[in-house]
Chains A and B, each alone.
Chain A
Amino acid sequence: MKVEQISIFIENKSGRLAEVTQSLGDSGVNIRALSLADTSDFGILRLIVDKTDVAKQALKERGFTVNKTAVVAVEVPDCPSGLAGILQVLDKGGVNVEYMYAFVERCGENAVIIFRFDDPEAAIKVLLENDVRVLEGERVYTM
């Protein structure tokens, strides 16, 4: 039920983000979702792509530091309190959210949110027990 995400360390200087996206483009990798966390010195770029291993290899060859992490894609009702309801479920289940970001595509009537949990297994269990829909990786990469 987990989704593979790649994270890339990027120094805060001009042209680095362009370099990442260019090398992905050159390798025929399509970006499905992304989020960038930054400080004054550096940023962490997180990506969901259609071909994770190809992307990781391409970026490593260009000299980037790349890690693969497991995240969870959750369907969220696209209506007021949709996300709040899911966060309450997680809170009650004692699950910590490290960070989250929205997916561009919708899944039917629902929005998709990517969650990074400190314990993804426990999070998935809590979500499923509360009838929240969690998307398979394969589904997400090709959305």
Chain B
Amino acid sequence: MSDCEKMMPKIWDRDNECMSRDRLEALQLARLQQTLKRVNEHVPCYQNKFSAFGLGVSDIRTLDDLAKLPFTTKEDLRLNYPYGMFAVPMREVVRIHSSSGTTGKPTVVGYTRNDLKTWTQLAARFMTAAGVTPDDIVHIAFGYGLFTGAFGLHYGAEEIGASVIPISSGNTDKQIMIMQDYLSSALVCTPSYALTLADRMEKKGIDPKRLSLKVGLFGGEPWSEEMRREIEQRLGVVATDNYGLSEVMGPGVAGECQHQCGMHIFEDHFIAEIIDPETGEVLPRGSIGELVLTSITKEAFPIIRYRTRDITRLSYETCECGRTHARMAKTMGRSDDMLIIKGVNVFPTQIEEVLFQVEGCEPHYQLVVDRAGTMDTLEVQVEVNERIFFDEMRKQHAFVDLLEKRLLSMLGVGAKVKLVEPSSIPRHEGKANRVIDKRVQ
């Protein structure tokens, strides 16, 4: 290896990550056609969807034809719970993961031996892009379990040849002790937990910059550029973002390189589209809209045009790092207004339901999500009306307590209810915009 190559950050799979767009698109089409053929043979949900649209697999002759196919939604996955979307017999499935559903049934995904190999390779790609090398000691503080986060990065780091510390989540003091003693150099956790660690170190009088940490790979919740700067400054690491969702594979769908200019989507394994979430139309390149993903190599759980509900933008210019794969911007929100609060998925419709259930209460409301220190906070502002206004403070407090209790049991995460005067919450034309997420502003 020349000195020049030593200086350059490594690309894990240069052939595939830097292939020309023409070659990439030819590969995508071939893999898409194979995937469609397989799901049409083995997954009744897709058979029914395609035939309802009057489409045969042979009608998909170009990548643009993908837009003719129907979407797959979370609802489809719920209806086919637990194994209805699998395209292989269970004896070929070697791993099962599950999404973090808070209400109703979670969604279940499976992996064949080849799927795990692919996942491991893709995790190794984005971890390498973030700067992880065989010399690193990778500290994985995601919870190990049904959640895809920890296992995804675990196998990726081992594949690179780094040393993995599978510490899992929780016990912050022990995490810090291990970071100090075991010389952890790459930190894997949620961005808010990175700040929790920084806070605790500050309290204990430990200077994070005297640890061995050099890179952070953060994911699992939305975070702003401001938060990135704060983490980088306080922990003294390069903080990188990565993207994935269990329905599509887990972490390793996309990841940022050290240029921090968007997350490369591994397009040789996934086809990304941006659609208008209202009409479902595919939008021109460069538009902001909902990300739709199609897997083109997965065996156990292939997924066609999955509506991620994440709002983002794709850019296709070749990155300075040399990778040709499209880059997705940090997610800018959700088309279904889903919020991730303390790692729990929260939908405004759940809050509406609680307000509606409480007798006589169908008021105008707004959600304010913020971060106090490192903890997410949710405030539900409710406009007072005559039915929920009492002239006795005791009854007024009892009403607020009741709402807070019901919200906690519905959402699985605590919310503060704040009563506000009528007409003090802005009304929006058309689609109600009931969420203010100060964490991403």
Chain A residues with CB under 8 Å of chain B are: 5, 7, 9-11, 16, 37, 39, 41-42, 44, 46, 63-67, 69, 98-99, 116
Contact = CB atoms under 8 A, between A and B. Distances in A.
Contacts of B386: 65-67
Given A9-B384, A11-B424, A42 B419 contact: yes
Nearest to A43: B393
Contact of A67 (B389, B423, B424): B389
A63 B423 contact: yes
29 contacts: A5-B391, A7-B389, A9-B419, A9-B421, A10-B421, A11-B419, A11-B421, A11-B424, A16-B421, A39-B393, A39-B397, A41-B418, A41-B419, A42-B420, A44-B393, A44-B396, A46-B391, A63-B421, A63-B422, A63-B423, A65-B384, A65-B385, A65-B386, A67-B386, A69-B391, A98-B392, A98-B394, A116-B391, A116-B392
Interface in B404-425: 418-424
A67 to B, nearest CB: 6
Given A65-B386, A66-B386, A44 B421 contact: no
Interface in B367-400: 384-386, 389-394, 396-397
A44 B391 contact: yes
Chain B interface size range: 10 to 19
Nearest to B418: A41
A18 B394 CA distance: 25
Contacts of A16: 421
A99 B393 CA distance: 9
A14 to B, nearest CB: 13
Contacts of B389: 7, 9, 65, 67
Contact of B421 (A39, A64, A98, A116): A64
A83 B384 CA distance: 35
A69 B391 CA distance: 8
Closest CB pairs A-B (n = 5) = A7-B391, A9-B384, A65-B384, A11-B421, A65-B389
Contacts of A39: 393, 397
A23 B392 CA distance: 23
A63 B422 CA distance: 6
A63 B390 CA distance: 17
Nearest to B395: A98
B394 A65 contact: no
A101 to B, nearest CB: 12
A70 B354 CA distance: 31
A54 B310 CA distance: 52
B422 to A, nearest CB: 6
A69 B393 CA distance: 14
B224 to A, nearest CB: 27
A115 to B, nearest CB: 12
A7 B422 CA distance: 15
A65 B391 contact: no
Contacts of A11: 419-421, 424
A35 to B, nearest CB: 10
Contacts of B397: 39
